[in-house]
Amino acid sequence: MNETKRFKCSNCGEENPRKLHEEPDKTQVLYYSMQGAPVYKKRIKCGNCGLVFDKAQ
């Protein structure tokens, strides 16, 4: 079962999940995987206005 989280851009109000792209925030490493690859914190970028915001808001 897929859990679809809904996000909303606080700048333009965009709610379309196809427009809100999850991307890694490479300034914030959460942890390193067992292979040694960094796992970054995820953030959301609005495809409509370009605002980048945290998932946890």
Q: Which of 29, 30, 49, 52 binds Zn ion (CB under 5 A)?
A: 49
Least separation in angstroms between CB 48 and Zn ion: 4
Q: Alpha-carbon distance 45 to 26, whole Å?
A: 13
Q: Of 34, 24, 33, which Cα lies nearest the Cα of 54?
A: 24
Query: Can residue 12 be called a binding residue for Zn ion (CB under 5 A)?
Result: yes
Q: Could you tell me the smallest distance in angstroms from the CB atom of residue 18 to Zn ion?
A: 13
Residues within the interface to Zn ion (CB under 5 A): 9, 11-12, 14, 46, 48-49, 51
